[in-house]
Amino acid sequence: MTILANQRIAIIVPCYNEALTIGAIVRDFNACLPDAPVYVFDNNSTDATVAVAEAAGAIVRRVPLQGKGNVIRRMFADVDADIYIMVDGDDTYDASVAPQLAEKLLREGLDMVVGSRVTEEQAAYRFGHRFGNRLLTGCVAMVFGNTFGDMLSGYRLFSRRYAKSFAAHSAGFETETELTVHALELRMPVAEVPTVYKSRPEGSVSKLNTYRDGARILMMILKLFKNEKPLHFYALGALLFLLLAVGLAAPLLQTYLSTGLVPRVPTAVLCTGIGLFSVLLLCCGLILDTVTKGRIEQKRFAYLSLPAPAPRQS
């Protein structure tokens, strides 16, 4: 008997117009984890995604709010399980490794396991997407510390306490960034395992827009930086405005020390205003830092209210 016995495992698949691939995903995961139900959360598909998923044996739920982040919010809220296996609906990830990833999560008491993408197919993981992933992953690492090598992977396993403590503010593809930061913020035990990544079947089209969604992910990183580390964010702004005020005031101060006169009064007033604004930014950062620490404590209490993943006795 494996350590997965007596564990409630759910396969959760966010989907939008994936009629060509969703049937194969459902069948592959049913073959690897026959006791785990496959939930397909359809996000207003206009093709036969729902019919194909139901014919393959999936449990289909509909999410009217458009966007992957909205779908993930519903998945974590509606599905009750001990282990959540989330996979994109494009049939690019290897279903056969799901049992090993789940066993790793249980053995090591992890809250999230990320299947990092490894491929030799250029078409599967285009250079633009690969470069953008590295750039955005590096940005998150600079702000939140060491992170994953493939922050934007759509193949992830979660513990119950991760899923039920995740607030899910984002609406679109930037949700992977939020998933990563949630784990880093609460210092959860996580792991990353290389997994085979293949190209989409012929006729299947990616829903990811490299530039638009890349910009949205970058904005999400800035938003999370402001919300989760307000002291650093506002202190950086305060420093920039302070440097501006000092730069503008330096010639005035030099003239004043030489002649005792202030020749450009409007500039002096501007410097004073900018300096006061810098102090105000720093005060905002100090206040919001205290508020944020209290909010993180509440999130951690919600996280700790559920038991850690572990094998169960039969």
- Look at residue 184 and give its three-state secondary structure: helix
From CA 225, how far away is CA 250, in angstroms rounded? 32
Residues 159, 109: Cα–Cα separation, whole Å: 9
Distance CA 190, CA 194 (A): 14
Contacts of 45 (CB under 8 A, 6+ apart): 15, 16, 17, 18, 19
Token pair listed for 235: 């202190």
Beta strands in the chain (DSSP E): 9-15, 38-42, 59-62, 83-86, 112-118, 156-159, 190-196
Each residue's pLDDT, cut to its tens digit, for the chain (314 residues) gives 478 888 999 999 999 999 999 999 999 999 999 999 999 999 999 999 999 999 999 999 999 999 999 999 999 999 999 999 999 998 899 999 999 999 999 999 999 999 998 876 655 455 556 667 777 777 787 778 777 888 888 899 999 999 999 988 888 878 888 899 899 889 999 999 999 988 877 766 666 666 776 787 788 888 888 988 999 999 999 999 999 999 988 888 888 778 877 777 888 899 999 999 999 999 999 999 999 999 889 889 989 998 888 887 65
Q: Do residues 102 and 175 lie in contact, with contact meaning Cβ atoms separated by under 8 Å?
A: no
The identity of residue 302, as a single letter, is A
